[in-house]
C-alpha cells in the first residue's frame, strides 16, 4: 500500500538535497491507463533510431541501446520531484540535424553531438542554480524568440515535405495519420464531441496514439511500409556496440566544435524554457481542480534534472533530440486525467511515473519492438509534423505588431535554410533587424511586452513560492 497523502498537502516523498524522491508502489500507485498509453507511445522514442543511424552513424543495435539509456533518463523527473512528463526538445530537432549535417556521420558527428549536449547541460545547470534563466530569455527580443520557434516549425515541416523526405515515400499513411492526430489534439469540434461522448473522451486520453495506429494500418495496407516480422522473447540491446561509438572510445570534441555548437545550444535552451512554462501552465490548471494535493513547481529543480539528463546522455547516449523538460501531448493528457479526481489518478507523480516506467518495460518486450520496427520513420514523421504545427501556432500568436511579424518571418525563413550555419545567420539577422526596425519603439512597448517566455515568469515565481510554503508546512 503506497504512502497516504494528507488532504491538501504535498504528496509523500523522501528528501534528497534539492530533490524529492518518490518511488512506485512506495509513494504512489500504479496507473493502468498511463501504462496502456506508454505501451504505444514508446514507439515515438524509438523513432530516434533512424536519426542515430543517419546522422551519428550508429548501427541499429547500438541505436536501440541508446534509446534504452534515454528511456532510463526519462525516469528521473518523477523520481526526483519534477511534475512534468519529460521528452526531447522536439522543436529544436530540425535545427540540431542541420547542425549535424556539417559533420561526417561517425566519430566526427558523435563528437559534435557530445559538444552540443554538454553545452545544453551546462546552460541548464548554471542558469537554474543562479536563477539567471528568466533574465537571459527575457533579454532576447520577442521577434527573435518567435522567429526561432516559427523557424523550427518550418524546418521540421520542410524536412518532411522535401524531395526524398518521408512524406514522399509514404504519403497516405503519414498525411492521414497526421490529420487524425491533429484532429484529436487540436480540433475545436472534437473538443465539443468529447464533452458529450464517452468514447471520444476515452480516445482523447491517448493523445497521438490513434493517429499512429491509423497511420500504421494505412501504411501496411497501402504497402508503404513492410509488414512486421514479429519475434518473441526479450529485447537484447547491444550495449557493447554502443560503447564503441561513445566519446569514451571515439574521443572527445575539440574547442572548435564547442564554439560551433554555442548558437544551437542557446536556441535549444530558449525553446526548452518555453516548454517549462507550457508544462507549468498545464500543471497549474489541473492543480486548481484538485484541492486534495499541492503540486510544487520548482524551476530550479527542473533545470537541475534536465541538466543531469543531458550530462548522462552526452556521455552514454548522444541524442539529436536532446533531453527536454516536457513532452507536451502526454503532459496534456496526463494533466487532463489527473484533473478528474483521485479515483482517476492518485497523484500527478503516479501518472507520469507509471508512464515512463511502462515505456521502459515496453522497450524489452521483443514482440512490441519488432511490431513497430518497420514504421519507426512514420512515428518520427508524425511527431515532427505535429511539432511544426504547435511551433508555428504558438510563435504567430505571440507576435504583437507588423514590425515584430516582419522580423520574425525573416528569422524563421533564415533558420529553416538547409545550411548547417543557419542558426548563426538567423541570430545575426534577427538582432540586426531588431535594432534597425524595432528598437525605436522598444521603450514604449516594454511595459506591455508579454512575450512567450516572460508570460510565464510570474507563474514560475508563484509556483516556487507555493512549493516552498508547502515544504515548510
Residues 73 and 76: their CA atoms lie apart, in Å, by: 6
Given a cut of 60, is residue 468 above it in pLDDT? no
176 part of a folded domain: no
Judging by DSSP bridges, how do beta strands 19-21 and 14-16 pair with one another? antiparallel
Residues 342 and 339: their CA atoms lie apart, in Å, by: 8
Residue 45, CA distances (Å) to 227, 390, 455 in order: 21, 19, 30
Mean pLDDT on 285-297? 87
457 part of a folded domain: no
pLDDT band at 441 (very low <50, low <70, confident <90, very high): low
Domain residues for the domain of 286 are 14-154+228-375
Specify the residue for cell string 552540443.
116
- Name which residue leads in pLDDT, 413 or 463: 413
pLDDT value, residue 323: 94
Mean pLDDT on 233-246? 92
401 part of a folded domain: no
pLDDT value, residue 137: 67
Q: Are 294 and 10 in contact (CB under 8 A)?
A: yes
Cell of 333: 493528457
Residues 218 and 240: their CA atoms lie apart, in Å, by: 37
Mean pLDDT on 392-399? 83
Percentage of the chain modeled with pLDDT above 70: 92
Give the model confidence (pLDDT) of 177-189 as tens digits.
999 988 888 888 8
- Tally of structural domains, the chain: 1
Comparing 8-22, 150-164, 198-212, 230-244, which segment has the lowest mean pLDDT?
Answer: 198-212
275 part of a folded domain: yes
Specify the residue for cell string 493517429.
211
Mean pLDDT on 155-166? 83
Sequence-separated contacts (24+) of 408-412 with Cβ below 8 Å: 408/143, 408/144, 408/146, 408/147, 408/150, 409/147, 409/150, 410/147, 411/143, 411/144, 411/147, 411/148, 411/150, 411/151, 412/147, 412/148, 412/150, 412/151, 412/153, 412/154
Mean pLDDT on 276-297? 85
Comparing 12-26, 121-135, 173-187, 434-448, which segment has the lowest mean pLDDT?
Answer: 434-448
Specify the residue for cell string 546522455.
313
Comparing 402-411, 419-428, 446-455, which segment has the lowest mean pLDDT?
Answer: 446-455
Percentage of the chain modeled with pLDDT above 90: 37
pLDDT band at 278 (very low <50, low <70, confident <90, very high): confident
Residues 90 and 465: their CA atoms lie apart, in Å, by: 30
Sequence-separated contacts (24+) of 47-52 with Cβ below 8 Å: 47/376, 47/377, 47/379, 47/380, 47/383, 48/88, 48/319, 48/320, 48/321, 48/380, 49/376, 50/376, 50/377, 50/380, 51/93, 51/97, 51/320, 51/321, 51/380, 52/320
Specify the residue for cell string 502526454.
330
pLDDT band at 258 (very low <50, low <70, confident <90, very high): very high
Given a cut of 50, is residue 471 above it in pLDDT? no
pLDDT value, residue 459: 45
pLDDT value, residue 307: 96
pLDDT value, residue 302: 92
Given a cut of 50, is residue 453 above it in pLDDT? no
pLDDT value, residue 81: 93
361 part of a folded domain: yes
Residues 389 and 409: their CA atoms lie apart, in Å, by: 16
Give the model confidence (pLDDT) of 42-54 as tens digits.
888 888 898 899 8
Given a cut of 70, is residue 465 above it in pLDDT? no
Give the model confidence (pLDDT) of 359-386 as tens digits.
999 999 999 889 888 888 888 888 888 8
123 part of a folded domain: yes
Nearest Cα residue to 47 out of 187, 202, 195, 177: 177
273 part of a folded domain: yes
Average pLDDT over the chain, rounded to an integer: 85
Give the model confidence (pLDDT) of 53-101 as tens digits.
989 999 999 999 999 999 999 999 999 999 999 999 988 888 898 899 8
- Name which residue leads in pLDDT, 472 or 408: 408
Mean pLDDT on 133-145? 78
Given a cut of 90, is residue 305 above it in pLDDT? yes
- Name which residue leads in pLDDT, 147 or 329: 147
pLDDT value, residue 220: 92
304 part of a folded domain: yes
pLDDT band at 252 (very low <50, low <70, confident <90, very high): very high
Mean pLDDT on 427-442? 82
Q: What are residue 191's DSSP bridge partners?
A: none
Specify the residue for cell string 546552460.
123
**Exposure of 91 by Cβ count < 10 A (0-12 exposed, 13-18 middle, 19+ buried)?**
buried
Amino acid at each position: 500500500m503506497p504512502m497516504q497523502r494528507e488532504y491538501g498537502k504535498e504528496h509523500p516523498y523522501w528528501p534528497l538535497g534539492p530533490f524529492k524522491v518518490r518511488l512506485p508502489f512506495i509513494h504512489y500507485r500504479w496507473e493502468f491507463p498511463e501504462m496502456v498509453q506508454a505501451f504505444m507511445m514508446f514507439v515515438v522514442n524509438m523513432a530516434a533510431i533512424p536519426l542515430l543511424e543517419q546522422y551519428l552513424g550508429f548501427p541499429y543495435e547500438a541505436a536501440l541501446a541508446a534509446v534504452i539509456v534515454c528511456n532510463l533518463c526519462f525516469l528521473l523527473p518523477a523520481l526526483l520531484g519534477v511534475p512534468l512528463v519529460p521528452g526531447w526538445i522536439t522543436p529544436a530537432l530540425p535545427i540540431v540535424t542541420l547542425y549535424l549535417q556539417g559533420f561526417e556521420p561517425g566519430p566526427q558527428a558523435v563528437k559534435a553531438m557530445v559538444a552540443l549536449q554538454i553545452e545544453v547541460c551546462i546552460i541548464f545547470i548554471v542558469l537554474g542554480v543562479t536563477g539567471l534563466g528568466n533574465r537571459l530569455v527575457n533579454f532576447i527580443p520577442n521577434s527573435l524568440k518567435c522567429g526561432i520557434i516559427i523557424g523550427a516549425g518550418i524546418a521540421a515541416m520542410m524536412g518532411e515535405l522535401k524531395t526524398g523526405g518521408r512524406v514522399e515515400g509514404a504519403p497516405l499513411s503519414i498525411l492521414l495519420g497526421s490529420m487524425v492526430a491533429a484532429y484529436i489534439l487540436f480540433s475545436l469540434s472534437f473538443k465539443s464531441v468529447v464533452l458529450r461522448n464517452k468514447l471520444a473522451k476515452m480516445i482523447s486520453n491517448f493523445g497521438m496514439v490513434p493517429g499512429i495506429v491509423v497511420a500504421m494500418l494505412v501504411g501496411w495496407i497501402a504497402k508503404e511500409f513492410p509488414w512486421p516480422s514479429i519475434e518473441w522473447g526479450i529485447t537484447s540491446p547491444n550495449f557493447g556496440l554502443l560503447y564503441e561509438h561513445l566519446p569514451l572510445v571515439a574521443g572527445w570534441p575539440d574547442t572548435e566544435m564547442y564554439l560551433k555548437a554555442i548558437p544551437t545550444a542557446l536556441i535549444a535552451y530558449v525553446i526548452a524554457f518555453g516548454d517549462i512554462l507550457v508544462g507549468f501552465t498545464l500543471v497549474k490548471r489541473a492543480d486548481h481542480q484538485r484541492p486534495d494535493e499541492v503540486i510544487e513547481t520548482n524551476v530550479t529543480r527542473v533545470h537541475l534534472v534536465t541538466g543531469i539528463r543531458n550530462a548522462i546522455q552526452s556521455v552514454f547516449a548522444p541524442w539529436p533530440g536532446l533531453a527536454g523538460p516536457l513532452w507536451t501531448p502526454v503532459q496534456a493528457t496526463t494533466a487532463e486525467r489527473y484533473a478528474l479526481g483521485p479515483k482517476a489518478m492518485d497523484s500527478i507523480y503516479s501518472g507520469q511515473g507509471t508512464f515512463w516506467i511502462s515505456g521502459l518495460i515496453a522497450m524489452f518486450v521483443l514482440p512490441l519492438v519488432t511490431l513497430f520496427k518497420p514504421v519507426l520513420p512514420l512515428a518520427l514523421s508524425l511527431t515532427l509534423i505535429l511539432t511544426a504545427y504547435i511551433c508555428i501556432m504558438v510563435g504567430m500568436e505571440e507576435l504583437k505588431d507588423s514590425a515584430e511579424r516582419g522580423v520574425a518571418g525573416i528569422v524563421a525563413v533564415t533558420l529553416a535554410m538547409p545550411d548547417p550555419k543557419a542558426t548563426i545567420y538567423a541570430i545575426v539577422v534577427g538582432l540586426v533587424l531588431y535594432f534597425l526596425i524595432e528598437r525605436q519603439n522598444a521603450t514604449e512597448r516594454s511595459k506591455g511586452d508579454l512575450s512567450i517566455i516572460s508570460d510565464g515568469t510570474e507563474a514560475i515565481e508563484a509556483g516556487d513560492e507555493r512549493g516552498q510554503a508547502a515544504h515548510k508546512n
